[in-house]
Amino acid sequence: MIKREDLEKKEYENLSSFAAKSADSKGRALQEEKCQVRTEFQRDRDRIVHSKSFRRLMHKTQVFLAPEGDHFRTRLTHTIEVSQIARTIARGLALNEDLTEAIALGHDLGHTPFGHSGETILNNIHPGGFKHNIQSLRVVEVLEGSKGRYGMNLTAEVKDGIVNHTGPVKPFTLEGQIVRFSDRIAYINHDIDDAIRSGVIKLTDLPKGCIAVLGNTHRGRINTLVMNLIENSDGKNAIIMSDSCQEHMDKLRTYMFENVYHNEKVKKHEDLHRVETIISSLYDYYLDHPESLPEERQEMIEEYGVAEIVKDHVAGMTDRYALNLYNELFIPKGWK
């Protein structure tokens, strides 16, 4: 039998001196008996994969609202692509692949229904605002967990990588920094793929300079960015991309915001208005009727307040659940 101690020893033998070692983890908020056959980071990855929040990602929008077709990305497929890219980079740099994977799989657990449109609406209506990375941390620290215990009790390294995969603070592990880059590499390129598939843009519309530097195929651009990160970060205590690749990746991102993310073909005004109506109506309904919240959420109201728990409940919904619940609560039966 390969024991946890054997795996921990292999990390010291095979990984870079800059890699996070599971035996040296900063630990968990609540002390637990260690697993016999899994490292601390492997255990975190498994807890995330088995969570309800992770399963719900399959029915949450990435970019396209109610896309017609089977091949458009969802929040779950985005998460899997981020994980694959991040693991490749970590492996290439001899960093901790288990930690990298755990962070990648958990980074978007706090996303709302209807993608960033839902996030914007909750940010506007909830006191104190809403950020999906902060909500992802709340999911793993508070909202998920076994009966009678809040949260997954993950290691400090995984929680730091999740909350800082976006925003002003850089993760304190190189593995967390890899996920931060991988998230952007994944969504820029797979959103280009989905936008071309939907007819919103054509390959020839992409900025010529970006294509010349990064590549003219989905596979080629990802390979260029991944290899650039590995080559520029090798032997360094930081994850670094060359100035040229960084500049052209940022230009592609700007192009996508201007031509796809804010394109009416992708998010029609009537669809955005519908999303706003659904999210705000459900939020207001549960504020007025907290007794309608699930029992486990009602039990948390005294500690966190009604508004915070209502926000948690609405943010956790899938697109179809939010839509069906809205229809059930607000649309007269004769109109359905």
For residue 155, give the CATH number of its domain: 1.10.3210.10
Asked, for residue 319, whether it belongs to a domain, the answer is no
Asked, for residue 155, whether it belongs to a domain, the answer is yes
| Average of per-residue pLDDT across 242-259 | 95
Asked, for residue 279, whether it belongs to a domain, the answer is no
Asked, for residue 290, whether it belongs to a domain, the answer is no
Lowest mean pLDDT: which of 132-136, 234-238, 265-269?
265-269
| Count of domains for the chain | 1
Asked if 15 and 9 touch (Cβ cutoff 8 Å), the reply is: no
**Domain residues for 104?**
38-266
Asked if 185 and 249 touch (Cβ cutoff 8 Å), the reply is: yes
pTM, entire model: 0.94
Decide which of 274 and 55 is more confident: 55
Q: Which residue has the tokens 């592609």?
A: 252
Report the b/e string of 21-53 with b at 16+ CB within 10 A: bbeebeebeeeeeeeeebbbbbbbbebbeebeb
Predicted confidence (pLDDT) per residue in 53-108, tens digit: 999 999 887 665 554 544 467 899 999 999 999 999 999 999 999 999 999 999 99
Which pLDDT does position 332 carry in this prediction? 73
Asked, for residue 123, whether it belongs to a domain, the answer is yes
